[in-house]
Amino acid sequence: MQVTQWSEALSGWLMGLGLPGWAAIFLVYAVGSFILINYGMLSVLLLIWITRKAISRIQDRIGPNRVGKYGLLQTVADAAKLLSKEDITPYEADKIAYNLSPILAVFGVLMLLAVIPFAPGLTGVDLNVAALYVVALGSIGIMAALMAGWGSNNKYALLAGFRVVAQLLSYEIPLVLAILTVVLLTGSMRFGQIVEMQSLHVAGFNLGLGWLGIVMPGALIVFFVSSLAEAELTPFDLLEAESELIAGFHIEYSGMKFAMFFLAQFLNAWILGAVAVTLFLGGWQGPGVGLPVIGPILGLGYFMIKVYGVYVLQQWIRGTFPRIRIDQMMYFAWKVLVPLMIGLIVAQAIIQKLPTPVAIQYVLIFIANVGVMAVVAYVLQKYFREEQIRTKRSFEPTSLIGGMQVSEKGTMY
């Protein structure tokens, strides 16, 4: 199916009106980025409302219900409140780093919107290195956190900044490896083409259910878990544990600058969900997207339903999971997720070189995914059983053990 990009169609129409080529392209992209940026900013109002409502329901509360119908305008009221707050700059703060950091945080997230395919032919820009682009922009968020921590002239903010960098860098690796499996299978880093590949034609009709997440559930789960860590969501929100650390690296920020970090965080969760949908859950694919006129509209609908579904799932996890410790966080990234992904990639690379039809390869990749995950689950289960015994022993009072050999740290062997 050949899809014309909205930008080509629109610039062609403008050039037909007599505009010079560069002006038409400039105008089209200006309009496109205006729409995307404003969509991103405004959708955060909805996202925060969804979060509050979902978590309230999980915790047996009602949630915001005073401002507007179902409390829909609560976030608008909160934004107005934040706007009217005093903008405080800490004593001897590094002005440049302190003021630039919230801007960079939002910038790094909003730029991601440019490559997300919303519907057939409706992508900001169909970059040929989109998958790599998503990874590269993650580093801007890390830089922003580091600048905020350093610029605040506060040792707690600085320490939290280091923790943010440690977490984001660690979880970037399984994230990249999970993206790599998709690139390996589709042979393309272009998001448009990755979504195209996930169609499923039955008797000439596009069912749109050939999702890669079905073929490689292991990669999907790793991507989802590491995207939770990248978006600093529970169970990986120890960076800004409000009850313990106040707010981590943005402890010194107030008013609208704080709101910008807040906005970046919610939007990042949504966009990482959108990337997960694009890579693994078929993007805009769904039954009937191949139809002439109604197809793109259906595609946009499917995409939004999937992305908001993933977002609600993230909030569900946020409302139910306890927070993990920092050593557990590092352990999980480096000793569980990275070996799992490397195993998956090696298995997939071998399978894709086998002289078998593509359908059999898909089945083999699925089996390899399930197999690697089963091995990891078995090893983890053994580890946790041993860990449980170890902690129980270390809590036993040493005096009662008496003559038994006790090592200096309280564990006995």
Partner 1 sequence: MQLPLGIEVPIPTFEQFVFIQVALLTAVAALAVVISRNLFHSALALTLTFFGVAGVYIFLEAEFLAVSQVLVYVGAIAMLIAFAIMLTRSMMFGRTSPLNNQWGKSSLFAILFFSALLAFARATPWPAAGEEVVADEALIGQLGREFVTTYVIAFEVLGLLLLVALVGAVMLARDR
| Residues with Cβ within 8 Å of residue 23, at least 6 apart in sequence | 14
Q: How far is 410 from 394, CA to CA, in rounded Å?
A: 6
Q: Under the criterion CB under 8 A, does residue 351 sit at the interface with partner 1?
A: no
How is residue 20 written in tokens?
């010079």
What is the x/- site pattern for partner 1, positions 3-42, by CB under 8 A? -------------------x---x----------------
What is the x/- site pattern for partner 1, positions 145-174, by CB under 8 A? -xx--x-------x---x--x---x--x--
Angle among Cα 381, 230, 45 to the nearest 5 degrees reads: 125
How is residue 331 written in tokens?
């352990």
Q: Under the criterion CB under 8 A, does residue 139 sit at the interface with partner 1?
A: yes
Nearer to partner 1, 5 or 314 (CB): 5
Residue 77 CA: distances (Å) to CA of 3, 66, 81, 83, 149: 42, 11, 6, 10, 29
Nearer to partner 1, 177 or 289 (CB): 177
How many residues bind partner 1 (CB under 8 A)? The answer is 31
| Structure letter (DSSP) for residue 113 | G
Q: Under the criterion CB under 8 A, does residue 94 sit at the interface with partner 1?
A: yes
* Residue 412: strand, helix, or coil: coil
| Structure letter (DSSP) for residue 67 | S
| Smallest separation (angstroms) from partner 1 to the CB of 169 | 7
Residues 175-204 that bind partner 1 (CB under 8 A): 187-190
Cβ(146)–Cβ(110) under 8 Å? no
What is the x/- site pattern for partner 1, positions 311-330, by CB under 8 A? --------------------
> 129, 305, 346, 389: which one contacts partner 1 (CB under 8 A)?
129
397: preceding bond cis by omega (within 30 degrees)? no
Stretch binding partner 1 (CB under 8 A), from 53-61, 143-151, 225-233, 403-411 = 143-151
Q: Under the criterion CB under 8 A, does residue 65 sit at the interface with partner 1?
A: no
Selection from 267, 232, 247 nearest residue 45 by Cα: 267
| Residues with Cβ within 8 Å of residue 304, at least 6 apart in sequence | none
Q: Under the criterion CB under 8 A, does residue 395 sit at the interface with partner 1?
A: no
Nearer to partner 1, 115 or 307 (CB): 115
Selection from 177, 88, 168, 125 nearest residue 8 by Cα: 125
Q: Under the criterion CB under 8 A, does residue 59 sit at the interface with partner 1?
A: no
Stretch binding partner 1 (CB under 8 A), from 30-38, 132-140, 248-256, 318-326 = 132-140
* Residue 206: strand, helix, or coil: strand
Selection from 147, 108, 310 nearest residue 223 by Cα: 310
Provide the β-strand partners of residue 119.
122
Q: Under the criterion CB under 8 A, does residue 132 sit at the interface with partner 1?
A: yes
> 55, 77, 82, 127: which one contacts partner 1 (CB under 8 A)?
127
Nearer to partner 1, 326 or 401 (CB): 326
Nearer to partner 1, 138 or 235 (CB): 138
Q: Under the criterion CB under 8 A, does residue 235 sit at the interface with partner 1?
A: no
235: preceding bond cis by omega (within 30 degrees)? yes
Nearer to partner 1, 97 or 336 (CB): 97
How is residue 397 written in tokens?
């009072």
> 116, 142, 231, 276: which one contacts partner 1 (CB under 8 A)?
142
Q: What are phi and psi of 367, to 5 degrees?
A: -60, -40
Q: Under the criterion CB under 8 A, does residue 135 sit at the interface with partner 1?
A: yes
Selection from 201, 350, 226 nearest residue 279 by Cα: 226
Q: How far is 177 from 341, CA to CA, in rounded Å?
A: 6
Stretch binding partner 1 (CB under 8 A), from 37-45, 93-101, 220-228, 399-407 = 93-101
Where along the sequence are the contacts to partner 1 (CB under 8 A)?
A: 22, 26, 94, 96-97, 100, 127-129, 132-133, 135-140, 142-143, 146-147, 150, 158, 162, 165, 169, 172, 187-190
